[in-house]
Amino acid sequence: MTSVTSSITIQHTTASRINEVDFSNLEFGKYISDHMLVSEYKNKRWSEPIIKPYGEMMMSPAMLALHYGQAVFEGMKAYKMIDGNISIFRIHKHHDRFNISLGRMCMPEVPEELFVNGMHALIETDHAWIPQTDGSSMYIRPHVFASEARLGVKVSEQYKFIIMTSPVGPYFNKPIRVKVEETYVRAAEGGTGFAKCAGNYGGAFYPTQLAREQGFDQVLWTDARDHQFIDESGAMNVMFVMDGKLITPKLTSAILDGVTRDSILTLAREMNISAEERKISIKDLEEGFAKGTLTEAFGAGTAAVVAPIAVINIHGKDYALPEVKPDSIQMQIKKKLHNIRVGLEPDVHQWNYIIPVK
């Protein structure tokens, strides 16, 4: 069946895969929902988007994204609210960041109307895929990649914008072990660290794999110049509670401007929790452990939400954090964030983009 919603053509699947989904065990990214949105950029303009069944696409092995890395994505989430409607969290902030990343990679911006209306129509089409169990949500992956077929090293003149979605559960199932990285580098100032471009992730695989082999879940990246200051954790920003104060590394061009990071800082200040963005050195962490003033550490990201850190390895030594209690700062903020997203608490900042379910 083909239909048209707010001028977007939808080719509905005739073979839904929803019955293949084990909603009680949603491994991150395992299932992709029935439909995807596609728009193509050619002759300096984006085509009318179309929603069609998710599946493989014909592409040239010479397409520039594969060779020179022009590929940018976002990670977002939609939630089923207590009144039955759907909320997409901070759609406009994600759109702004998407365009900032695209700009850094010499790629064309995606107009807000295409991003917002396209996502709205896609989520509406696959709303049955939004999981409803505690801690689960619909992960949304908008992305743009260079599709022009050329081997010359050049900025592509053709791109594809695709949105796909995936029902997901918690990214980590238990508090994680992280290793402060002092050999490898994720991003240097002036580089692409602040952009959500594919290369940042591919480049982190090798050191992360080494850390995994040593029993860690993630790497805690430090600044590229001196390996002295904490940057982020690659899949998420990082936050600490020291002397009762929430602290997180101040943004630089090497750190992703996380939407969850920003939301947590905003909520903390409203909850009268003192929150500070500043340089955080490895020494600060060591001192915090020695004095017992470092009481919490956690990752903050769209996929990870709030991910408690159990152990930080510094210069080869494991430092354990206290067990996370329900009244901890991270759990209080996580709860508040969840309540806002599902409509249990007022959304004073208008972070939720609501899709009414008919």
Measured between alpha carbons, how far is residue 195 from residues 74, 78, 108 in Å? 10, 22, 14
End-to-end Cα separation, the chain, in angstroms: 19
Q: Return the number of the residue (75 or 169) whose C-beta is nearest ligand COI.
A: 75
Count of helices and strands (H, E) across the chain: 7, 19
**Minimal CA–CA distance to 224: which of 259, 195, 274, 184?**
184
Token pair for 298:
């956690």
Rank residues 184 and 319 by Cβ distance to ligand COI and give the closer one: 184
- Taking CA atoms, 172 is separated from 130, 139, 175, 215, 307, in Å, by 19, 15, 7, 15, 7
The residue (of 53 and 175) whose beta carbon lies closer to ligand COI is 175
Of residues 247 and 307, the one with the C-beta less far from ligand COI: 307
Give the CA distances from residue 348 to residues 270, 343, 351, in Å, rounded to whole numbers and listed in that order: 11, 11, 8
CB of 199 to ligand COI, least distance (A): 13
Q: How far is the CB of 304 from ligand COI (least distance, A)?
A: 6
Which residue in 28, 135, 129 sits closest to 86, CA to CA?
A: 129
Backbone angles phi, psi at 90, to 5 degrees: 50, 55
Between strands 45-46 and 35-42, the pairing is antiparallel
Neighbours of 317 (CB within 10 A): 10
Q: How far is the CB of 75 from ligand COI (least distance, A)?
A: 2
Least distance (Å) between residue 78 CB and ligand COI = 13
* CB 303 to ligand COI: min, Å: 3
> Residue for token digits 């896609």?
122
Closest approach of ligand COI to the CB of residue 234, in Å: 8
- Provide the b/e sequence for 268-303 (b: ≥16 CB within 10 Å): beeeebebeeeebebebbbebbeeeebbbbbbbbbb
- Beta carbon of residue 235, minimum distance to ligand COI (angstroms, whole number): 4
The residue (of 201 and 289) whose beta carbon lies closer to ligand COI is: 201
> Cβ closer to ligand COI: 51 or 235?
235
Nearer to ligand COI, 80 or 90 (CB): 90
**How far apart are CB 211 and ligand COI at their closest, in Å?**
16
Q: Which is nearer to ligand COI, 201 or 319 (CB)?
A: 201
Residue 123 CB, shortest distance to ligand COI, in Å, is 16
State the pairing for strand pair 137-146/159-168: antiparallel
Which residues are within 8 A (CB) of 335 and not within 5 positions of it... i.e. 6 or more apart? Answer: none
| CA–CA dist 209, 217 (Å, integer) | 9
- Would you tell me which residues interact with ligand COI (CB under 6 A)? 75, 201, 235, 301-303
Q: Specify the residue, 33 or 302, whose C-beta has the smaller distance to ligand COI.
A: 302
Nearest residue to ligand COI, by Cβ distance, number only: 75
